[in-house]
Amino acid sequence: MQQGKAVRTQLSVRYADTDQMGVVYYANYLVWFEVGRNAFFRVLGDSYRRWEEAGLLLPVVEAGCRYYQPAHYDDEVTVATTLANLSVARLTFTYRVERGTVLLAEGHTVHAFLGPGGRPVNLKKAFPGLWDKLLPCVAPPAGREPGTPGAAKQRG
């Protein structure tokens, strides 16, 4: 995967996704973020299931979403998922939810790396293959173009 490249996932808004006001219920955007993360991992040739079976958990420790325009029943939306930050202890994904060219919402999730018993693990040491797979995917910091020195945002 190219550095900073977003994985784009198409979704159709279900009637069950909407609330009494006829718009997508705010918390469902977080569900869509999860769908986007799973698609991101599949593009890498990996999955949450495989990591869990290997003893690695990635709980959400922070989440946020800013809403700009509502989505409605039967809309076709795209969730663009980007790996924004990677450290030995956690990673951050950012998301853009769009209907065509209209930005509906932006958000982020931060995930810790936990091992058996819920204890923190150093991803680089405990799962070097996964670290090596994720590192090239990290988006460059704002104001830097992919491929420029210092573009990979990481802490070792």
In-domain check, residue 147: yes
Which residues form the catalytic set?
Answer: 19
Q: What are phi and psi of 148, to 5 degrees?
A: -85, 155
Residue 14: CATH number of its domain: 3.10.129.10
In-domain check, residue 1: no
In-domain check, residue 74: yes
Range of the domain at 29: 7-155
Residue 139 DSSP one-character state: P
Cα–Cα distance, 79 to 155 (Å, whole number)? 27
Decide: 98 and 76 in contact? Cβ < 8 Å: no
In-domain check, residue 21: yes
In-domain check, residue 28: yes
Tally of structural domains, the chain = 1
In-domain check, residue 39: yes
DSSP 88-99: SSEEEEEEEEEE
Q: Each residue's pLDDT tens digit in the chain (156 positions)?
A: 667 789 999 999 999 999 999 999 999 999 999 999 999 999 999 898 999 999 999 999 999 999 999 999 999 999 999 999 999 999 999 999 999 999 999 999 999 999 989 999 999 999 999 999 999 999 987 654 444 334 443 434
